[in-house]
Structure 1
């Protein structure tokens, strides 16, 4: 198959302001610019940016761009959803798990630029569940300059050591499956 015949991976970005005290659009602009530049340098094209400018709280229903993204997922228009971090997708564990399950049902990959995870293995799924559980306490990890992914891995590793085992989990270096 020639390169022009290969299916193009349809990557989109989702971001939102995550605090009322942020100037409206400040985080959005930074996240979008950094993510677009980083992944376009890697050779990927960002198809669309979904952004919720106002801080609409925790409910998915109040975020029109997120609702549109989920609609586009159901229509098969998206292969990968890229976020800065999981907190920018949603601050609630239950919402994150619901969104992740929905994306999985539609064969859409969720990727965080700052929090590597791979849910293709049982240990990777456990790691993601720990990240989701810690999500509502993300401010604690941020104040310690540690990502949710690293914090979750630390908890998992500490738990394995307490049981006498070892954790062989490794971070995923690629975020996009091959076409």
Structure 2
């Protein structure tokens, strides 16, 4: 889809489930008016592309491919991002500490390492957070209590340790919570 006014620019690129294969070209970053990019459910491989010039990008779906490498910190330049789904790839490295004003983040089933950045608590519009099935370590940061709109929290199959933050049980909108297969301790209670 293109913008409706001249000069006409690509605003939405949806190539989901088209049996496409190969590396994702870095020239995608030239589509500077792009608001939605969906390359999900294909056979793309290679490094996660640099998308730092896509300042209008709000929706990024590259799930269900074979992308590897790190999630570039340059996504912070995409300040309008609200939804990211990079699940079911082979991404490695740490979760970038600052990514847009997200409402939806799915990084499940990758090979991510490191900790959950405490800055995740700044994303107060979060409704969905899936970091399950990675190699994340450390504690679940207490700042998750700031995510009052959160309905889904998936952290299963990682290597988290310590106590489940009390604030998790105060999240009134939380309807789906998966924490299994970690090294968490202590009990739980929901008021």
TM-score by length of 1: 0.34
Q: Which protein has the bigger helix share?
A: 1
Structure with more of its chain in strand, by fraction = 2
Q: Which has the higher contact order (CA 8 A, sep 6+)?
A: 1
